[in-house]
Chains A and B, each alone.
Chain A
């Protein structure tokens, strides 16, 4: 079998990452999810509610 050959050329670490599309998929989703999505959702979730004295006249 090919995979048992003892003299297989060692793949450089950089190229190993570049060629691993599942790892790249994971990294792409994670960076986006943390910096854009979760951070943004957290900021919006922590906004204080509009005080009633401002909200009521606006909704009239």
Chain B
């Protein structure tokens, strides 16, 4: 039995005629002290479970794809390759991520804000629509009626039920986002938090705003495409489709960025009692995301002739760099919150004692640190470099592009979501983690696997290997191309990295499923395997920088970024060398 106390609260909802009385049952968590609306908790659980199922589907497809692109094995026939590229993309980039984010939005807007869920029945409607959308789209893909890949560029046409599935999923997700705002309004009205939203909830609010932009754009493009697939609309202009689709496709990944960064701050707080050393700056960085990050969708049209250079340059450089600035702020603020807290706990020797004495045995902490490193050094640097009109030309439509987003979405977002799950299992599912020994090294294995996979793909792309191509040797085709012999080495590394990552995800799913369904119950703080730190004590004195170690690490990052930046310009110059 859980030691948590159940509390029933009565709220009077104002209405034009008379007040409506709502009884809400809360559980007061005996570990965190948070008040948890039991109706919200159920919704958080089901969305998290659906997310894990989606990830499982995605990685099964992923490993088959890795061994197809790895030419010595070349596992799948062409039609199944493209089918599973579609299946993997949809399950990994949309279903896994958005189910988890809806769980995160419900958690952030009720548990963190100590408030009730505004409309749980609507939450269930949203969830059912999302599951229906998942089943419908996946079924249509697997029976071969939607071999259109995630982007489904027109004139490629899928079965109408595929588009309908995506639309249902998006509507369900939009309901979840609206409910998040409803919860925020209740929390504000009932003054369940201080003057401003806590930073984690603020970051989740950023994610929710970006989600509105994303889902609205999705409706603009998917509804006419659905009608076109039914024969009710004559033509969908391919250039127009691509422009609007990427407003959905790229922005959806920016929801991840905001949610991921929020979790980074949350784990700093949970693991070492850290807070941002300048919350106002961190909040400003989130606002910069809201205002400018979705413009980055234009990256995907950098080689399209239909839009002008002015449109491309404004959207991918001038305005978008403000969003890059925001990421740089978070990249400093998150590690510095760890460092500042660790120093206040007394780990003050030299530049890096705070890091060497960090709670590395806590898999949530190690996941987050590894996600920050991978996201910054692999995903972030390549994102800015490939996002420039000039340097984009040397990698556009090569395998370097999925290599880049393996560095953002997989090593960044997915590893972060995996990490926070180690806290969610005892706090939300009220179960102990089964297999803590495995959990401690799972993030490291995942990091090494995806880093190998991602870097290999980036190098392969720089060597001209195309993306989304069943047979990179072009055997039997009218054209042939002799790649640099080094590609064979990097294909092998990619296969090795993909295999390690697959093993790691399998371990993670095994831990999650075993813990949630068969793990011993958590009966109080004594059963908590991961530390929840009290707030770090105030600093005794303020001399010099508050986080000098982070400053040094940031400078190293900037040097690496500069080196890669100039290297890419050098390669660009070599590409266009006229002899």
CB distance from B4 to the nearest CB of A (A): 31
The 8 A CB mask of A18-41 against B (1 = contact, 0 = none) is 110100110111011001110111
Distance of A29 Cα from B216 Cα, bound (Å): 9
- Asked whether B209 lies within 8 Å of A25 as measured between CB atoms, the reply is yes
Interface residue B212 (Cβ < 8 Å from any Cβ of A): yes
Secondary structure call for the A interface? helix
Which residues of chain B come closer than 8 Å to A43, judged between CB atoms?
306-308, 311
- Asked whether A21 lies within 8 Å of B184 as measured between CB atoms, the reply is yes
- Asked whether B197 lies within 8 Å of A19 as measured between CB atoms, the reply is yes
Secondary structure call for the B interface? helix
Within the complex, which residue of B196, B210, B283, B308 is in contact with A28, where a contact is CB–CB below 8 Å?
Answer: B210
- Asked whether A24 lies within 8 Å of B287 as measured between CB atoms, the reply is yes
Within the complex, which residue of B212, B213, B314 is in contact with A35, where a contact is CB–CB below 8 Å?
Answer: B314
- Asked whether B290 lies within 8 Å of A28 as measured between CB atoms, the reply is yes
Chain A: number of interface residues, binned into ranges? 20 to 34
Interface residue A47 (Cβ < 8 Å from any Cβ of B): yes
Most B C-beta atoms less than 10 A away, residue of A32, A35, A39: A32
Which residues of chain A come closer than 8 Å to B306, judged between CB atoms?
43-44, 47
Which residues of chain A come closer than 8 Å to B237, judged between CB atoms?
44
Distance of A31 Cα from B283 Cα, bound (Å): 19
Instruction: Please judge, given known A-B contacts A25-B209, A32-B213, A35-B314, whether A41 and B290 are in contact too, CB under 8 Å.
Output: no
Within the complex, which residue of B217, B294, B311 is in contact with A39, where a contact is CB–CB below 8 Å?
Answer: B311
Which residues of chain B come closer than 8 Å to A60, judged between CB atoms?
none
Instruction: Please judge, given known A-B contacts A18-B287, A29-B213, whether A35 and B319 are in contact too, CB under 8 Å.
Output: yes
Distance of A15 Cα from B202 Cα, bound (Å): 13
Within 8 A of A (CB), among B253-283: 283
Distance of A40 Cα from B247 Cα, bound (Å): 11
Closest to B246 in A: A36
Chain B: number of interface residues, binned into ranges? 35 or more
Interface residue B236 (Cβ < 8 Å from any Cβ of A): no
Closest to B314 in A: A35
Which residues of chain B come closer than 8 Å to A41, judged between CB atoms?
240, 243-244
CB distance from B186 to the nearest CB of A (A): 13
Which residues of chain A come closer than 8 Å to B181, judged between CB atoms?
21
The 8 A CB mask of B209-221 against A (1 = contact, 0 = none) is 1101100110000
Interface residue B507 (Cβ < 8 Å from any Cβ of A): no
Instruction: Please judge, given known A-B contacts A27-B291, A35-B314, whether A15 and B217 are in contact too, CB under 8 Å.
Output: no
Interface residue B315 (Cβ < 8 Å from any Cβ of A): yes
Which residues of chain B come closer than 8 Å to A28, judged between CB atoms?
209-210, 212-213, 290-291, 294
Which residues of chain A come closer than 8 Å to B308, judged between CB atoms?
43
Closest to A26 in B: B209
Within 8 A of B (CB), among A1-60: 11, 15, 18-19, 21, 24-25, 27-29, 31-32, 35-37, 39-41, 43-45, 47
Within 8 A of A (CB), among B182-226: 184, 195-197, 205, 209-210, 212-213, 216-217
- Asked whether A24 lies within 8 Å of B290 as measured between CB atoms, the reply is yes
CB distance from A39 to the nearest CB of B (A): 6
Closest to B205 in A: A21
- Asked whether B243 lies within 8 Å of A40 as measured between CB atoms, the reply is yes
Instruction: Please judge, given known A-B contacts A21-B184, A43-B307, whether A31 and B209 are in contact too, CB under 8 Å.
Output: no
Which residues of chain B come closer than 8 Å to A15, judged between CB atoms?
195-196
Closest to A32 in B: B294
- Asked whether B209 lies within 8 Å of A35 as measured between CB atoms, the reply is no
Interface residue B547 (Cβ < 8 Å from any Cβ of A): no
Distance of A1 Cα from B352 Cα, bound (Å): 52
Instruction: Please judge, given known A-B contacts A24-B290, A27-B290, A43-B307, whether A37 and B244 are in contact too, CB under 8 Å.
Output: yes
Closest to A17 in B: B287
- Asked whether A35 lies within 8 Å of B295 as measured between CB atoms, the reply is yes
Interface residue B297 (Cβ < 8 Å from any Cβ of A): yes
A-B pairs with beta carbons under 8 Å apart, 11 shown: A21-B184, A21-B209, A24-B209, A28-B294, A29-B213, A31-B319, A32-B295, A36-B298, A36-B315, A44-B237, A44-B240
On A, residues with C-beta under 8 Å from B are: 11, 15, 18-19, 21, 24-25, 27-29, 31-32, 35-37, 39-41, 43-45, 47
On B, residues with C-beta under 8 Å from A are: 181, 184, 195-197, 205, 209-210, 212-213, 216-217, 237, 239-240, 243-244, 247, 251, 283-284, 287, 290-292, 294-295, 297-298, 301, 306-308, 311, 314-315, 319
Given contacts A19-B195, A31-B291, A43-B307, 7 further A-B contacts (CB under 8 A): A18-B287, A25-B212, A27-B291, A28-B213, A28-B294, A32-B251, A47-B239
